[in-house]
Amino acid sequence: MSKRNHLRRARACLCASALALALACVLSFKPRAASSPSRRAAAQDEQRVDIRLRSLTTRATGKLTVEASEGGGRARLTALNLPDPQTVAAGANTYVVWAVSGGRIVRLGELKRDARGNGGLAFERPEGLERYGVIVTAERSADAERPGDPVLSSRADEAAALYPSKKDEGGAARDAGGTAASVAPPPVPSVTAGGRRAGDFYAEVDDALASQGGGRVLELGGEEAAPRARGAARATTRESRAYVRANFRGVPLPPAVGANVYVLWAVTPDSRVVYMGSLPASAALNTAEVYVRVAGFDADDYALFVTAEQQRPAPSPSGRRVLSQKMVRTIVK
């Protein structure tokens, strides 16, 4: 075998190994307990989700934004500083975006880049996939049948179907004291006063808590449905927004208590019950940090509780409480 052929075969083996490794990461990754942004669970609302993509090449960064739609989510992938595709794979001329779920791989389209290496692709939720991961690869053409060398990737099944919230029909809920309370519909995220969008969601929550000396510490204890469950949250309010960072332990998964999802609620001093978002329905429930940002709060002394629900989003709290607030403390600098 000639030296040239030997080098070609070695290069092909390396490319195949890189692809296999990237796909393995996307398909089999399971989150661990940690506080880094890539392992945080966001319960900001049910209208929009932002996912930061992992970069497998120098300098490139990416973000996947999914907004609720009747089809299960309208997504846009944005990439910055993508290198010339030929530097990633020999003969490559463009980048292609793929959805990956289990053994299924769906080509979503070509990601066209400008002279600075920035580009984007908008797409609807891949048909038949309620959850999926995303990878970006360097290809010879936009019609590639299988993914090649990866450049950016999400985690396994990190993107999920996202449908519009049902409108509140004027129903009433009961707060902790048994009085009637109106339920506020989940708001749509907006640009913050600092000019940062939802892509900086985690940093915005952390900054808001830090600006208030860490915020209040709210301790939650398990109710009859989950007596061993525990929760702890830091909470504050800034510029009419509530910010919460919470951890849960010993909470059984929703099916164990005959539910489909857990929902976090807040009760304000004027007896409003506010939908704060649904909690993770996987093992991440007891390992990941849950980050929350909701508009429409005028005071900082709201209470939190968690209920077991059959649908997402829930129009009002059910009578099945899983966790209720047990203690309120204020952190002082």
Domain 48-160 is found in CATH 2.60.40.200: yes
| Per-residue model confidence as pLDDT tens digits over 126-172 | 988 889 989 999 999 999 988 887 789 888 888 888 888 654 333 33
Residue 274 clears pLDDT 60, i.e. is over it: yes
Residue 9 clears pLDDT 60, i.e. is over it: no
Residues of the chain with CATH 2.60.40.200: 48-160
Looking at residues 300-313, what average pLDDT do you find?
A: 88
Q: Please, what is the average pLDDT of the chain?
A: 77
Among 32-46, 109-123, 263-277, the minimum mean pLDDT is found in 32-46
More confident residue, 266 or 168: 266
Looking at residues 11-32, what average pLDDT do you find?
A: 48
Query: What would the 3-class secondary structure string for the chain be?
Result: CCHHHHHHHHHHHHHHHHHHHHHHHHHHCCCCCCCCHHHCEECCCCCEEEEEEEECCCCCEEEEEEECCCCCCEEEEEEECCCCHHHHCCCCCEEEEEEEECCEEEEEEEEEECCCCCEEEEEECCCCCCEEEEEEEEECCCCCCCCCEEEEECCCCCEECCCCCCCCCCCEEECCCCCEEEEECCCCCCCCCCCCCHHHHHHHHHHHHHHCCCCEEEEEEECCCCCCCEEEEEEEEECCEEEEEEEEECCCCHHHHCCCEEEEEEECCCCCEEEEEECCCCHHHHCCCEEEEEECCCCCCCEEEEEEECCCCCCCCCCCEEEEEEEEEECCC
pLDDT score of 110: 95
Among 44-53, 108-117, 281-290, the minimum mean pLDDT is found in 44-53
